Structure 1
Amino acid sequence: MTVENPTEVPAFAWRGAFENKELNTLHAECFEHALTDDDWWSQVNRFSLGWVTMRISGALTGFVNVAWDGGVHAFLLDTMVTLPLRRKGYATLLVEEAVTHAKASGCEWLHVDFDPHLREFYVDRCGFVPTDAGLIQLR
């Protein structure tokens, strides 16, 4: 993903509009997989409390999904920031925006699962508290 002016202030939007192609491109970059043709727009509108988009110069440069159980539990999924903008605090701002909106929506808990190398980000920078959890791999 190319950002024309990386010093421009990013625009964050709760439930911001996006095209499936641009989110598939960002996801492939951030999670290092082949480009897919997933219907993100339908998926998040059906299953998510909301999501946060980040744009710079009109380009989708960041995203985080806030899934939920329909009650008081929300779940962060797919926190993404384009490679040229990483380690500049943008992901933390995405998560802060997600926290604000999940709280305003009446959620009592915001959960996140992460790989060990992301512990410092989620625990130290974003304020998540480590908890015991369980996981069953289904495939």
Structure 2
Amino acid sequence: MTITYRWRGDVDNALLDALHADAFGHPADGTDWRARLERHSLGWVCAREGGSLVGFVNVVWDGGAHAFLLDTVVARHRRSRGVGARLVSVAAEQARAAGCEWLHVDFEDDLRPFYFDTCGFKETTAGLIAL
């Protein structure tokens, strides 16, 4: 079956909550994803296979030159098949089309090959404060 990718695709809270919980290893918590996306996001990319949500990435921004990837998730049964790379590619295309000049991402160390080798991000110096 073909996987389709849609910028600002329809988001079903329950499906996205379940995908996010599965991908990040926590119980679904009833997050109102739709409200969060509408309030904070430049856009998002949904990957669907048939009626199933198999991937998602959120693109938040500062309203200007900087966009940021959050919540890149791919269903476990579709990992290592290019879904994540295509999600990021569509996100980058759309952020560029919106006038953004930079796309940022932070990630855990085991995802370095995905973001640097597969998606083309470059390593930078950054800082973080745990709140």
Bucket of the pairwise TM-score, normalised by the shorter protein: over 0.9
Offset of 1:121 from its aligned partner?
A: 0.2
Which of 40, 43, 47 matches 1:47? 40
Q: How does 1:1-139 map to 2 (within 5 A)?
A: 8-138=1-131
Aligned partner of 1:3 in structure 2 is: none
Runs of 5+ unmatched residues, structure 1: 1-7
What SS does the corresponding residue of 1:53 show, helix, strand or coil?
strand
**Percent identity between the two aligned chains:** 52
Count matched residues: 131
In structure 2, what is the Cα distance between the partners aligned to 1:120 and 1:50?
25
- Please give the alpha-carbon distance, in whole angstroms, between the structure 2 residues aligned to 1:90 and 1:34: 23
Normalised to the residue count of structure 1, the TM-score between the two structures is 0.93
One-letter code aligned to 1:33: H
Structure 2 unaligned regions, length at least 5: none
Q: Which consecutive aligned stretches of 4+ in structure 1 deviate over 6 angstroms post-superposition?
A: none
Q: CA deviation at 1:30?
A: 0.2
Q: State the SS of the aligned residue for 1:54.
A: strand
C-alpha root-mean-square deviation of aligned residues, in Å? Answer: 0.5
